[in-house]
Amino acid sequence: MVNILDRLQKFAGGPLGQYMNNAHGYWAFPKLEGDIGPRMKFRGKEMLNWSLNNYLGLANHPEVRKADADGAARFGMAAPMGARMMSGQTKWHEQLERELAAFVGKEDAFLLNFGYQGMISIIDVLLSPRDVVVYDAEAHACIIDGLRMHKGKRFVFQHNDIDSLRKQLAHAAALAEETRGGILVITEGVFGMKGDLGPLDKIVALKKEFDFTLLVDDAHGFGTMGRGGRGTADHFDATEGVDVLFNTFAKSMCGIGAFVASHKWLIDIMRYNMRSQLYAKSLPMPMVIGALKRLELIRNHPELQEQLWTIVRALQEGFRARGFEIGSTASPVTPVYMKGGDQPCGRSARKPRTVLLGGGLSGHPARRDHPAHHPHGGPHSRRCRVHTESLRRRARQTPGRRLPTPHARHERHDLGERGSELIQIPPDRLLGSFLKLGWIDHDAGHAFERRDQSV
Ligand SMILES: Cc1ncc(COP(=O)(O)O)c(C=O)c1O
């Protein structure tokens, strides 16, 4: 028998916590100050900030700020008290749901207090233990964690690989026949690390071969993709085939909250069964009033999305023209791949702020084994990346390796061996390029050498 606290002390901090000593206050838990925007202060020094989800620049939009302030002044943070089902229902919550559903082209929508918990509950509502899940290997942590509650079987398909999905669907169909359950396919619209798109049109087309329900997390696609920012399903003209659509307010909407959209009858089932909403206080009024304003701006100002894409195209073309590899992104998420092996990647992950914050550039490095993705790490996790919304220096890995055990437990089919080749751009080259691009100034470059290590 072990003492739990002893074990945790020996745990050495976990996949990210192991870097706590030299990371804290730099790439982990940095304190950025000033108005949210491309330039913010870190330790009194102005930084170019690459790590925000402020895709449409709404965070400091005067009308958004006013709506947030008015909502808080009129209702306070307490209202409404209680869960939606009890005493937390208001006409504004309902109005927001109607407007969100109409915007994304679904019959109805249900508000979620947080996307992460919401997704866990959506999966919980949709599945019975007889059901079989088939999900993308690079699905977000909220999907992985939702699946950890599922008592039935699950299969993983190689990231965005339709042949692999078809193969796993065939296995799932055989199994579902045995268990007399159904099949749920889960993927994302825009993958937040690589920026590539879930091929929703091709996935929907597979419904001709297999009977399944499709759940899509479009956290990064809402506001950025599709007509007027309606999302990735709209981009692929596949809205009808996406049975359950999930979006968060945490990215383009610059807020807190999320929603799920689908048929009215299914949303009604969610309203009465989604535990994260049944047993939690309703989304506070200022968030709801603020979200109505944000949605109004997105709907009435398509130029916000156009401006985003003007910047994205310039950034991505600039990177490509200068020889950076940015991979298969087809969205505003822009990864910059690093060359090297585990060791150099590990080394630079340990002190990424020497490149980033010290160089006048603020971004967040993220390892594949970040608990946000795969809480227990594992072979799949052996890659590391600097993860920002518009800049991701990250490592690459060849496809095909089995996922870490907690998620692989029920998999019948190993995805094969995958190498863990990591690539890295030497920090001085990265820094030099940013200097040339004028994204950081020379003082910032020199500060890279001299930065104060103390936390
Ligand atoms: C793909 C994806 N899904 C879900 C979430 C969770 O959303 P929330 O921040 O609203 O909990 C995030 C991150 O915020 C995300 O990137």
Say whether both 136 and 76 belong to one domain.
Answer: yes
Which of 366 and 158 is assigned the larger pLDDT? 158
188 lines ligand 1 (CB under 6 A): yes
Long-range contacts of 234-239, Cβ-Cβ distance < 8 Å, separation of 24 or more: 234/104, 234/105, 235/189, 235/197, 236/197, 236/199, 236/200, 236/201, 236/204, 237/201, 238/200, 238/201, 238/203, 238/204, 239/104, 239/105, 239/106
120 lines ligand 1 (CB under 6 A): no
219 lines ligand 1 (CB under 6 A): yes
Query: What type of residue sits at position 162?
Result: I
Ligand 1 mean position, distance from CA 255 (Å): 12
Ligand 1 mean position, distance from CA 248 (Å): 6
**Minimum-distance ligand 1 atom for the alpha carbon of 117:** 11
186 lines ligand 1 (CB under 6 A): no
Q: Is residue 57 part of a domain?
A: no
Does position 364 have pLDDT exceeding 80, yes or no?
no
Whose CA is closest to 393, among 428, 343, 345? 345
Range of lowest pLDDT (211-225, 267-281, 295-309, 340-354): 340-354
Does position 446 have pLDDT exceeding 60, yes or no?
no
The alpha-helical segments, DSSP class H, found in 222-284 are 232-235, 264-273, 275-278
pLDDT confidence of residue 378: 30
Bridge partners for 39 per DSSP: 48
Range of lowest pLDDT (40-54, 250-264, 435-449): 435-449
Say whether both 338 and 434 belong to one domain.
Answer: yes
Among 123, 140, 260, the mutation site with the greatest number of ligand 1 atoms within 8 A of its Cβ is 140
Looking at 279, 300, 321, the residue that finishes a domain is 300
Region 159-176: mean pLDDT is 98
Range of lowest pLDDT (165-169, 222-226, 286-290, 365-369): 365-369
Does position 447 have pLDDT exceeding 50, yes or no?
no
pLDDT confidence of residue 363: 57
**Minimum-distance ligand 1 atom for the alpha carbon of 256:** 10
Ligand 1 mean position, distance from CA 372 (Å): 10
CA angle 312, 317, 323 (to 5 degrees): 130
For the sheet containing 258-262, what is the strand order? 108-112, 258-262, 244-248, 213-217, 183-188, 132-136, 153-157
Q: Is residue 454 part of a domain?
A: no
Range of the domain at 207: 62-300
Q: Is residue 8 part of a domain?
A: no
**Minimum-distance ligand 1 atom for the alpha carbon of 116:** 11
pLDDT confidence of residue 18: 76
Say whether both 162 and 72 belong to one domain.
Answer: yes
* Cα–Cα dist 216/434, whole Å: 36
Asked if 320 and 326 touch (Cβ cutoff 8 Å), the reply is: yes
Task: Note the pLDDT tens digit of each residue in 44-66.
Answer: 888 877 778 899 999 999 999 99
Say whether both 250 and 314 belong to one domain.
Answer: no
Does position 425 have pLDDT exceeding 70, yes or no?
no
Angle between helices 285-300 and 62-75 (to 10 degrees): 150
Ligand 1 mean position, distance from CA 223 (Å): 14
Q: Is residue 111 part of a domain?
A: yes
Among 53, 116, 260, the mutation site with the greatest number of ligand 1 atoms within 8 A of its Cβ is 116
142 lines ligand 1 (CB under 6 A): yes
Say whether both 397 and 420 belong to one domain.
Answer: yes
Which of 285 and 385 is assigned the larger pLDDT? 285
Does position 261 have pLDDT exceeding 90, yes or no?
yes
Number of domains comprising the chain: 2
Question: Which pair of tokens denotes residue 423?
Answer: 């690539």
Looking at 247, 272, 300, the residue that finishes a domain is 300
Does position 404 have pLDDT exceeding 60, yes or no?
no
Say whether both 312 and 242 belong to one domain.
Answer: no
Q: Which residue has the CA at smallest separation from atom 2 of ligand 1?
A: 219
**Minimum-distance ligand 1 atom for the alpha carbon of 248:** 10
Say whether both 145 and 244 belong to one domain.
Answer: yes
- pLDDT above 70 coverage of the chain, percent: 74
Say whether both 324 and 215 belong to one domain.
Answer: no
233 lines ligand 1 (CB under 6 A): no
Q: Is residue 135 part of a domain?
A: yes
| pLDDT band per the 50, 70, 90 thresholds, residue 205 | very high
Q: Is residue 225 part of a domain?
A: yes
Say whether both 34 and 154 belong to one domain.
Answer: no
Does position 395 have pLDDT exceeding 70, yes or no?
no
Q: Is residue 273 part of a domain?
A: yes
Ligand 1 mean position, distance from CA 452 (Å): 33
What CATH number does residue 24 fall under? Answer: 3.90.1150.10
Looking at 300, 321, 339, the residue that finishes a domain is 300
The alpha-helical segments, DSSP class H, found in 32-114 are 62-75, 91-104
pLDDT confidence of residue 428: 45
CB count in 10 Å sphere of residue 72: 16
114 lines ligand 1 (CB under 6 A): yes
Say whether both 296 and 351 belong to one domain.
Answer: no
Does position 177 have pLDDT exceeding 90, yes or no?
yes
What CATH number does residue 109 fall under? Answer: 3.40.640.10
β-strands 361-362, 45-49 pairing: parallel
Say whether both 308 and 296 belong to one domain.
Answer: no
Q: Is residue 387 part of a domain?
A: yes
* Cα–Cα dist 416/402, whole Å: 6
Ligand 1 mean position, distance from CA 217 (Å): 9
pLDDT confidence of residue 340: 56
Say whether both 161 and 70 belong to one domain.
Answer: yes
